[in-house]
């Protein structure tokens, strides 16, 4: 059974088919967050600290750390900022970290200060990236996210994305890197732009699991990009892609709807024995007033049908 081991200085997490779904907190990333980018650029890490604590409290197994605050001279500006952010976060929380950067110098700088066994995010199928990143993965003995695109860009054909993932796994083997240290991101397409995106990724994840025997991850919110009420789509997508074999996702753990989907999928997938984590998480859970009102309205509207003799059984939950 494929198991990818990541660790902080004090805590080990296993990503695997027989393990609870690994939630990688996405919030410490200034991309698309102008306020956070400005704060980090100015040396203000108050939001970083708050996001680190909140995500761990919400149930994140790992935290993704990105310090790409500007596209100007990233080879010079990003490495020291990433190092500072990593050091700060790993002193604050005890979960494993993901070193997230497209700048090779930043990844190397991060690996030099990271405690435990971080996950590197990422390498692609581009020759330049393979030659730059894979030696670092071997040298520091850490796992890496392999993104299924290459010099030709991101293909809409899932077979092409599978071929790129296979190429990365094979090239990694040339460096002595085992498949369990490759976590493939098959690239989830927005369902609003491509109606087959869900079906594609489910099939692709199954192939990656069965044929390459690798763990998988994704940027969860990609699936709902451009749609209203994105968290509803994300929450529906999660148990389906977990059922297909995906073992982790970079996502916002502070969204209760999405975390409920993860915890529920773990119960139904057999990775929460005796429902222990579900019970400990939700035993004191109380429905919101809006949920209670909706439930009351549902009871009233369905009363006549139940009195007629046949009614669906309802659980005592929300």
190-224 per-position pLDDT tens digit? 999 999 999 999 999 999 999 999 999 999 999 99
Kindly report, residue by residue over 67-106, the tens digit of the pLDDT. 999 877 899 899 999 999 999 999 999 999 999 999 999 9
Same domain, 275 and 292: no
Q: What is the rounded average pLDDT of the residues 25-43? A: 95
Share of the chain above pLDDT 90, in %: 86
Domain that residue 305 falls in: 288-318
Q: Do 40 and 109 sit in the same domain of this protein? A: yes
Are 251 and 108 in the same domain?
yes
- Claim to verify: residue 192 and residue 317 sit in the same structural domain: no
The pLDDT tens digits for 225-265 are 999 999 999 999 999 999 999 999 999 999 999 999 999 99
Q: Are residues 273 and 295 in the same domain?
A: no
Is 293 in the same domain as 227?
no
Examine the domain organization and report whether 95 and 165 are in the same domain: yes
pLDDT 10s digits, 115-152: 999 999 999 999 999 999 999 999 999 999 999 999 99
Looking at the structure, tell me whether residues 210 and 86 fall in a common domain. Answer: yes
* Number of independent structural domains in the chain: 2
CATH number for position 135 = 3.20.20.20
Judge if 68 and 193 occupy the same domain.
yes
For residues 289-306, give the mean pLDDT: 43
Give the pTM.
0.90
pLDDT of residue 211: 97
**What is the pLDDT, as a whole number, of residue 289?**
53
Q: Do 76 and 182 reside in the same domain of the chain?
A: yes
Token reading at 116: 């435990």
Looking at the structure, do residues 176 and 313 belong to the same domain, yes or no? no
pLDDT tens per residue, range 156-197: 999 999 999 999 999 999 999 999 999 999 999 999 999 999
Contact between residue 196 and residue 220 where contact means Cβ atoms under 8 Å apart: no
Judgement on whether residues 309 and 221 belong to the same structural domain of the protein: no
């Amino acid at each position: 059974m494929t198991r990818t081991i990541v660790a902080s200085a004090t805590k080990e997490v296993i990503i695997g088919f027989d393990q609870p779904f690994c939630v990688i907190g996405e919030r410490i990333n200034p991309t698309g967050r102008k306020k956070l980018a400005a704060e980090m650029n100015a040396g203000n890490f108050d939001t970083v600290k708050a996001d680190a604590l909140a995500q761990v409290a919400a149930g994140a197994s790992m935290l993704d750390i990105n310090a790409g605050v500007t596209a100007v001279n990233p080879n010079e500006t990003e490495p020291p900022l990433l190092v500072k952010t990593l050091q700060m976060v790993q002193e604050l929380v005890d979960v494993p970290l993901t070193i997230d950067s497209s700048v090779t110098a930043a990844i190397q700088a991060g690996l030099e200060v990271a405690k435990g066994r971080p996950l590197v995010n990422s390498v692609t199928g581009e020759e330049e990236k393979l030659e730059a990143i894979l030696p670092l993965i071997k040298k520091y003995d850490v796992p890496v996210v392999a993104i299924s695109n290459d010099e030709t860009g991101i293909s809409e054909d899932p077979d092409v994305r599978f071929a790129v993932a296979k190429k990365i796994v094979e090239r990694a083997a040339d460096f002595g890197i085992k498949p369990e240290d490759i976590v493939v991101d098959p690239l989830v397409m927005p369902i609003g732009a491509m109606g087959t995106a869900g079906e594609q990724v489910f099939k692709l994840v199954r192939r990656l699991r069965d044929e390459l025997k690798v763990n998988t991850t994704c940027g969860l919110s990609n699936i709902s990009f451009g749609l209203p009420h994105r968290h509803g789509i994300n929450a529906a997508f999660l148990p389906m892609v977990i059922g297909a074999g995906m073992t982790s996702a970079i996502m916002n753990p502070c969204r209760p709807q999405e975390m409920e989907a993860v915890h529920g999928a773990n119960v139904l997938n057999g990775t929460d024995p005796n429902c222990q984590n579900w019970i400990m998480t939700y035993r004191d859970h109380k429905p919101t007033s809006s949920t209670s009102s909706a439930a009351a309205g549902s009871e009233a509207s369905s009363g006549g049908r139940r009195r007629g003799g046949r009614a669906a059984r309802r659980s005592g939950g929300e």
